[in-house]
């Protein structure tokens, strides 16, 4: 019996060690090799196409697949109905090299009185080492998504002016931002009373609530992300 207990103890210790090793592997930092230049794509009406630059900062070649969706992450390139074509849709990028994607609008009718939002997807699959084709291995695919804004020519004003036109109000003690412009306003954070909450994108002619307790006349601060991905802090009074 003592021998049996010793074996059981060894078995339990081995399982614990393997489990801890598994957790360490899961928590280890894993990064995508492909880096997209820019944090958003602006597609102005009338342009034949827009370019997006990719770079492979990794040490191995990767295969990438690129497509645009309408915001539903579960949609694949085959099921997406977004009116954009990405060229090339599939290609290989060697380490230290780059690739330029061309995004073209198919001409589908979109609202002319406001911006429309879509998402550019870049799926990255590392190349498999042919010398280890018979070995068991874990292959991780990375998917990067950035927003694509379709911008009609007929919009009044400028996108850079939209954040200053937000109306801030209190609704049941919470902070509400109202966007009465035709532009999407992207906020990376909102702060009031020394507390900060995550930002949101406020769609044209829409509003968003933030979990911050505010009162009339109080000054709040918010971080705006512009067309180039730069962040600027602004302030406004709660109406």
Question: Does 167 score more than 80 pLDDT?
Answer: yes
Domain residue limits at 124: 34-151
Examine the fold and report which residue of 121, 151, 181 is the final residue of a domain before the chain moves on. Answer: 151
Residue 236 to residues 14, 141, 239, Cα–Cα distance (Å) = 59, 43, 9
H/E run at residue 20: helix 2-27
Share of the chain above pLDDT 70, in %: 83
Q: Is the pTM of this model over 0.85?
A: no
Band (13; pLDDT cuts 50, 70, 90): low
Q: What is the phi/psi pair of residue 228, to 5°? A: -100, 5
Q: Are 211 and 173 within one domain?
A: yes
- Inform me whether the pLDDT recorded for 105 exceeds 90: yes
Conformation bin of residue 96: beta by default, left when phi > 0, alpha when psi is -120 to 50 = left
Domain shared by 124 and 193, yes or no: no
Element (H, E) at 219: strand 219-225
12 in a structural domain: no
Are 206 and 117 in contact by the 8 Å Cβ rule? The answer is no
Are 143 and 178 contained in the same domain?
Answer: no
What pLDDT band is residue 16 in, cutting at 50, 70 and 90? low
Do residues 143 and 165 share a domain?
no
User: Given 97, 118, 151, which residue is the final one in a domain?
Assistant: 151
188 with 79, same domain: the answer is no
């Amino acid at each position: 019996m003592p021998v049996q207990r010793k074996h059981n103890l060894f078995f339990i210790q081995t399982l614990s060690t393997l489990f801890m090793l598994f957790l360490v592997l899961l928590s280890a930092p894993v990064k995508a090799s492909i880096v997209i230049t820019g944090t958003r794509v602006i597609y102005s009406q009338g342009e034949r196409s827009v370019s997006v630059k990719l770079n492979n900062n990794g040490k191995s070649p990767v295969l990438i697949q690129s497509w645009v969706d309408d915001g539903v992450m579960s949609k694949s390139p085959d099921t997406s109905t977004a009116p954009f074509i990405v060229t090339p849709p599939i290609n290989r990028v060697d380490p230290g090299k780059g690739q330029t994607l061309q995004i073209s609008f198919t001409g589908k009718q979109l609202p002319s009185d406001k911006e429309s939002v879509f998402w550019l997807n870049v799926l990255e699959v590392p190349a498999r080492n042919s010398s280890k084709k018979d070995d068991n291995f874990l292959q991780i695919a990375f998917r990067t998504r950035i927003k694509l804004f379709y911008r009609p020519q007929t919009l009044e004003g400028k996108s850079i002016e939209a954040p200053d036109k937000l109306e801030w109000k209190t609704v049941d003690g919470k902070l509400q931002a109202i966007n009465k412009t035709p532009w999407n306003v992207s906020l990376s954070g909102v702060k009031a009373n020394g507390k900060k909450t995550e930002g949101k994108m406020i769609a044209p002619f829409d509003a968003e609530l933030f979990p911050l307790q505010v009162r009339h006349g109080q000054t709040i601060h918010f971080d705006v992300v512009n067309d180039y991905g730069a962040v600027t802090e602004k302030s406004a009074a709660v109406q």
